[in-house]
Structure 1
Amino acid sequence: MSADDLLATCWTTAGDTAPDQDDQRSPLNLRERVEAAGDAGFKGFGLLYADLVEAEREYGLAGIRSLFADNGIGHIELELLTDWWTEGPRRTASDALRTGLLRAAEALGARTLKIAPDVADEPWDLGAWAKDFATLAAQTEGVGARLGIEFLPWSNLKTVHDGLRLVEAAGHPAGGLIIDVWHTERAHTPPADLADVPGSRIVGVELNDADSQVVGTLFEDTVRRRRLCGEGSFDLPGIVSALRTAGFSGPWGVEILSDTHRALPVREAATAAYRSAATLLK
């Protein structure tokens, strides 16, 4: 694996499914997706836990690991843990998911475990969140991976600055940020701000593009109308330059979520996502 490797995040090869659906499982089998990603040029692959469960049933974790290796996939990312900060039945369900994700991360040699903030944007306590985040980061480090939280403009962590405040308060070296450029752009964060993020706190980056105008809610726009890199309004060269200045060197995630992308055959979708991002990074 080398600098500027590209990682197909889970939605980029998932086909006709999306985060706004009750059943988020991909209609495609894992072999079809991994082969499409590998043939396109990707060296990394992201997998949603619901799809991981299906794939483990079909191939076993050892079989999944072999499938990745056979297709040149060396960077593995697993997602998405929510409700890790709360209590009661939601926390019980979250802890069961956590156990499954950590077990799989260890077995697959995963690089990254991705978690979410509170999309309901409820009141929250930084100290309590930092303590829970540090615990989870330590558990993730224990299985050989890093923990990345993805800030979202409609959540309690709206900006890169909000996310950094949490991970710095937690203070664990295995914890950091997933920086999705869609979210930095929609939060109106200038690329120069990204250059100031400590490189050690950038666990992952996700590249994509979009039109200048938001259509519908931010969540609707991010799920239905993302564009391939270079086909929208984002200053992607400026963003990439800023992230390199910060010290990030890859692998670079590519996360394309749109009605148009979902309708494509998976090989066509993976190839388009790879080529547009690879052109950007040249």
Structure 2
Amino acid sequence: MTTEELLATCWTTAGDAAPGGDDERSPLSLRERAEAASAAGFKGFGLLYADLVEAERAYGLAGVRSIFEDNGLHHVELEFLTDWWADGPRRTASDAVLRNLLDAAETLGARHIKVGPDVEDGPWNLDVWAEKFAAPAAQADGVGARLGIEFLPWANIKTVGEGLRLVEAAGHPAGGLIIDVWHTERAGTAPAELAKVPGSRIVGVELDDADEQVVGTLFEDTVRRRRLCGEGSFDLPGIITALRSTGWSGPWGVEILSDTHRALPVSQAAEAAYRTAAELLG
């Protein structure tokens, strides 16, 4: 097993909930999820914005912090901000979400906030997007957190290279990348390319696995058919070696999304996710 620390990303403990639906909230309580993650061995926890709102309503932010502290979960990740590049009503709504995420990040001592690209694959101008990314990065920095963009192979920022162009152009030290190995593998990114990413620009890493063949759309495949680490086709040892060569030492996120995973009791889901990732890291 590994001495490096692992973080259970939001979907790993969400139970019967998935991205893309009308209601993405987990049916499980935050306390139940945190206790399952802790019992499995995780030292970090990811929380989706919709679940953050519910948890704040149930416990208050101070109560949420206590739940994490009681369970030894000292790496906190918050997600998922979209429309930060937009104008009009979409941007107004995004700014309101960002304010809430920043408040929560400050109270919870969150290490980073995840943001996404445009999943409608609209055009993007590097200079404009860099300026718009730098602003929330500076705000995150102001509450002691970082801002990480998760590039997606079906969105307008598809690859680690495109993501790196954005964060380097934005230029803020608190801004960087969330590298989910599902997305790098499905984009055909070799481990050698990951090894070239400046370590200072890596905000988070997410481990998972998948079959060689994509079934359905990329989005359907990523949400319904991810595999536990080591149970699919990815060269995870090579990827881990490449990322360690940048100086990355964790916390390593584990993001398992599948119909099979969602059907498990949360304690079993968390245990399987931790064990398989820890074996590879060890």
CA distance in 2, matches of 1:4, 1:263: 28
CA distance in 1, matches of 2:20, 2:257: 11
Structure 2 residue 22 is the aligned partner of structure 1 residue 22: yes
Structure 2 residue 25 is the aligned partner of structure 1 residue 8: no
Cα displacement string for residues 151-183 of structure 1 (whole angstroms, at most 9, x for unaligned residues): 000111110000000000001000000000000
Q: Is the 8 A contact 1:3 1:250 kept in 2?
A: no
Q: Match for residue 194 of structure 2?
A: 194
SS at structure 2 position matched to 1:156: coil
Taking only aligned residues, the RMSD between alpha carbons, in angstroms, comes to 0.9
The verdict on how the C-alpha distance between 1:178 and 1:29 changes in structure 2, with shifts beyond 3 A counting, is same
CA distance in 2, matches of 1:17, 1:84: 24
Cα displacement string for residues 41-66 of structure 1 (whole angstroms, at most 9, x for unaligned residues): 00000000110110111111111101
Q: Match for residue 82 of structure 1?
A: 82
Q: Match for residue 145 of structure 1?
A: 145
CA distance in 1, matches of 2:151, 2:140: 19
Cα displacement string for residues 169-202 of structure 1 (whole angstroms, at most 9, x for unaligned residues): 0010000000000000000000110000000000
Q: Is the 8 A contact 1:3 1:249 kept in 2?
A: no
CA distance in 2, matches of 1:213, 1:203: 29
CA distance in 1, matches of 2:98, 2:224: 28
CA distance in 1, matches of 2:20, 2:83: 17
Structure 1 segment 106-255 matched on structure 2, within 5 A: 106-255=106-255
Q: Match for residue 265 of structure 1?
A: 265
The verdict on how the C-alpha distance between 1:104 and 1:3 changes in structure 2, with shifts beyond 3 A counting, is farther
Q: Is the 8 A contact 1:3 1:251 kept in 2?
A: no
CA distance in 1, matches of 2:182, 2:10: 16
Report the TM-score, using the length of structure 1 for normalisation. 0.99
CA distance in 2, matches of 1:149, 1:222: 18
Q: Detail structure 1 runs of 4+ shifted over 3 Å in the superposition.
A: none
CA distance in 2, matches of 1:276, 1:112: 24
In the TM superposition, residue 3 of structure 1 has moved relative to its aligned partner by: 6.4
| Structure 2 gap ranges (5+) | none
- Residues matched between the structures, number: 281
Report the TM-score, using the length of structure 2 for normalisation. 0.99
CA distance in 1, matches of 2:51, 2:270: 17
CA distance in 2, matches of 1:123, 1:170: 18
CA distance in 2, matches of 1:104, 1:212: 38
Report the AA paired with residue 203 of structure 1.
Answer: V
CA distance in 2, matches of 1:173, 1:97: 22
Report the AA paired with residue 253 of structure 1.
Answer: G
CA distance in 1, matches of 2:95, 2:195: 35
CA distance in 2, matches of 1:220, 1:173: 34
Q: Match for residue 56 of structure 2?
A: 56
CA distance in 2, matches of 1:112, 1:271: 24
Q: Match for residue 276 of structure 2?
A: 276
Report the AA paired with residue 94 of structure 1.
Answer: S
Q: Match for residue 44 of structure 1?
A: 44
In the TM superposition, residue 20 of structure 1 has moved relative to its aligned partner by: 2.1
CA distance in 2, matches of 1:161, 1:111: 23
